[in-house]
Structures are given as C-alpha cells and as structure tokens.
C-alpha cells in the first residue's frame, strides 16, 4: 500500500514530455497532382514530431508505383535542425498570414506553416513567397517530408519487391546529396534494417551504410 501511494504521489508531479507551453510548428501541405496529395508534419523544438500523409489519387498520366496508402508515424529530427526552424519562424514575427507572393509562378503546392507557443501564434499559407527565408523554409519542410515518405516506400519495397530497393536507394543517395531529401536521421530505422539484411543486394547495404553515416553528421 505504501509503495502504491508513493507511486501515485510521484505521478502527480510527472510533467508530460511536451507541456501546454511547449511551442509547436505545424506544416500542412497539399498538391492534388502529387502522391501523396496531402501531408501534415508537427514538430517540437527537441526534434520530436508526428507525420501523417494521405495517398489521394495518383496522377492519371503517371504509371502506378508502389506507394504507401497512408503514412502515420512519430518522427525525430536533429534537435539543432529543429531549433533552427523555430528560430526562423520567430524571426518572421509569425507573418500575420502575409507571405504569398501572388506572382504567376509554377504551382509548387500549398504550404501552410503554423506556429503556436507561449510567445505568440500565427500562420501563413503560400505557394511561392517573395520572402527568401520563408520560401526556403517551405522547401526545407518539403524535403523533410520527402525523406519520411521515402522511408515508408523503402519499407514497402523490402517487404514486396526487394530487387526494387537498388534503384530506390540510388535515388535516395543522389537526392540526399543535392538537398532534395533532408534529415536522413528521420528514416534511420529502415536504413539500419537494410544495412543489416543479408537478403538484399550488397549495393543496397552499402548505400544504407553511407546514408546512416550521413545521418550522424
């Protein structure tokens, strides 16, 4: 009984990992011409967060590809990287919703970036922003989401088409090198599985090893 009372007493003073005052970034992306057509990423300053994507309808002109129907998972990014994103948002004074350029540029997908924290809240939505920092912020979030989606695709290929991993990993290494994919640490789990799996091609294991080394930087 004494042990139980002590446990209950201690539980009253255990704070949740993210309290009400913890700032949160949320990014909502939509582009009906892509697969997935919608995704949402929430992020905390320590790099923890959650990602959800809905496949939607694949573009009719593209061949069918192996894509996860839904991606819904907790993610963890580099803490220094996450804090840089939060600092960028604060520097923009929460934007007051004014960040769309209204220029006639190619459609890149609608990105709604929202901030909620003890120091304020705000959001803005844009396809393309003339503010260079905001535009780069949107591109960064898209690159991170692309990495997470690649991880889900690798999991499917490992299960249903192991030979298809060779081409996919080649693309992943190339895209991580030129910045189209960022925060490889977000898919460390599947890369570790590939690196240790004797049933996949040696090239796949070597590329997984290379990406894991990059994820540690």
- DSSP string for residues in 161-172: -GGGHHHHHHHH
Residue 90 or 42, more confident? 42
Per-residue pLDDT averaged across 65-75, rounded? 86
Predicted local confidence at residue 4, as pLDDT: 40
Question: Would you say residue 170 lies in a domain?
Answer: yes
Partners of residue 43 on adjacent β-strands: 25, 49
Partners of residue 42 on adjacent β-strands: 26, 50
Domain count of the fold of the chain: 1
Question: Would you say residue 14 lies in a domain?
Answer: no
pLDDT > 50? residue 19 = yes
Partners of residue 120 on adjacent β-strands: 117
Read off the tokens for 141: 């979030």
**CB–CB of 203/169 below 8 Å?**
yes
DSSP string, 103-120: -------EEEEEEEETTE
Question: Would you say residue 74 lies in a domain?
Answer: yes
Per-residue pLDDT averaged across 81-109, rounded? 87
Predicted local confidence at residue 95, as pLDDT: 63
pLDDT > 60? residue 2 = no
pLDDT in tens, 31-46: 999 989 999 999 999 9
pLDDT in tens, 139-198: 999 999 999 999 999 999 999 999 999 999 999 999 999 999 999 999 999 999 999 999
pLDDT in tens, 102-129: 899 999 999 999 999 998 888 999 999 9
Question: Would you say residue 19 lies in a domain?
Answer: no
Question: Would you say residue 9 lies in a domain?
Answer: no
Q: Which structural domain, as residue segments, surrounds residue 138?
A: 24-215
Of the candidates 156, 140, 151, 142, which has an alpha carbon nearest to the alpha carbon of residue 184?
Answer: 151
Question: Would you say residue 85 lies in a domain?
Answer: yes
Question: Would you say residue 84 lies in a domain?
Answer: yes
Question: Would you say residue 142 lies in a domain?
Answer: yes
Predicted local confidence at residue 93, as pLDDT: 72
Distance in angstroms (rounded) separating the CA atoms of residues 108 and 182: 18
């Amino acid at each position: 009984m004494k042990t139980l009372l002590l446990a209950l007493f201690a539980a009253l003073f255990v704070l949740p990992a993210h309290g009400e005052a913890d700032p949160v970034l949320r990014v909502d992306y939509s582009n009906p011409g892509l697969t997935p057509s919608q995704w949402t990423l929430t992020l905390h300053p320590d790099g923890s967060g959650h990602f959800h994507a809905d496949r939607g309808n694949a573009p009719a002109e593209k061949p069918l590809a192996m894509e996860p129907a839904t991606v819904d998972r907790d993610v963890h990014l580099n803490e220094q990287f996450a804090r840089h994103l939060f600092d960028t948002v604060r520097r923009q004074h929460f934007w007051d919703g004014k960040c769309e350029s209204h220029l006639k540029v190619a459609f890149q997908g609608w990105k709604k970036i929202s901030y909620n924290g003890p120091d304020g809240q705000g959001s803005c939505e844009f396809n393309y922003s003339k503010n260079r920092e905001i535009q780069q912020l949107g591109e960064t979030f898209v690159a991170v989401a692309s990495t997470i989606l690649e991880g889900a695709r690798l999991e499917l290929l490992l299960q249903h088409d192991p030979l298809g991993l060779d081409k996919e990993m080649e693309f992943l290494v190339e895209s991580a090198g030129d910045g189209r994919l960022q925060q490889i640490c977000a898919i460390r789990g599947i890369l570790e599985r590939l690196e240790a799996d004797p049933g996949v091609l040696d090239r796949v294991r070597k590329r997984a090893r290379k990406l894991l080394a990059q994820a540690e930087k």
